[in-house]
């Protein structure tokens, strides 16, 4: 199993969710988050005073995927976002347990 985590712009969540549903992805976790301003970001000007935006609103998506589907899921997410709007990483999950039911492995997904 692989855990795919992507930080995307809020406008990209719905296209990603519907496209992954076509691939048969059942579980998708989304959480609101903010990203820090990148170095060199110019300050905003409001009433002649400079200030830095505290953070850019983003959405964190997490998808559990079998090993053989991981490349396809990553490819879908990459195609539906632009390069500057995407932070993406993949983590191997060695052991998965659903606490409520006690299911283990692929049955827990």
Give domain limits for the chain: 2-36+45-108
SS (H, E, C) the chain: CEEEEEEECHHHHHHHHHHHHHCCCCCCEEEEEEECCCCCCCCEEECCEEECCCCEEEEEEEEEECHHHHHHHHHHHHHCCCHHHCEEEEEECCCCECCCCCCEHHHHC
User: Rounded to two decimals, what is the model's pTM?
Assistant: 0.76
14/31 Cα distance (integer angstroms): 13
Q: What is the pLDDT, as a whole number, of residue 46?
A: 77
Residue 87 confidence (pLDDT): 87
Query: Each residue of 56-87: pLDDT tens digit?
Result: 889 999 998 888 889 989 998 988 887 667 88
Identify the segments of the chain with pLDDT beneath 70. 37-41, 52-53, 83-84
pLDDT for residue 37:
65
The pLDDT, as a whole number, for residue 60 is: 95
CATH number corresponding to 2-36+45-108: 3.30.70.120
């Amino acid at each position: 199993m692989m855990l795919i985590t992507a930080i995307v712009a809020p406008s990209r969540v719905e296209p990603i969710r519907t496209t992954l549903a076509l691939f048969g992805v059942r579980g998708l976790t989304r959480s609101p988050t903010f990203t820090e301003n990148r170095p060199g970001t110019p300050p905003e000007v409001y009433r002649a005073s400079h200030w830095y935006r505290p953070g850019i609103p983003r959405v964190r998506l997490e998808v559990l995927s079998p090993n053989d589907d991981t490349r396809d899921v990553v490819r879908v997410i990459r195609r539906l976002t632009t390069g500057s709007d995407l932070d993406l990483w993949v983590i191997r999950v060695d052991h998965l347990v659903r606490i409520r039911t006690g299911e283990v492995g692929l049955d827990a997904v």
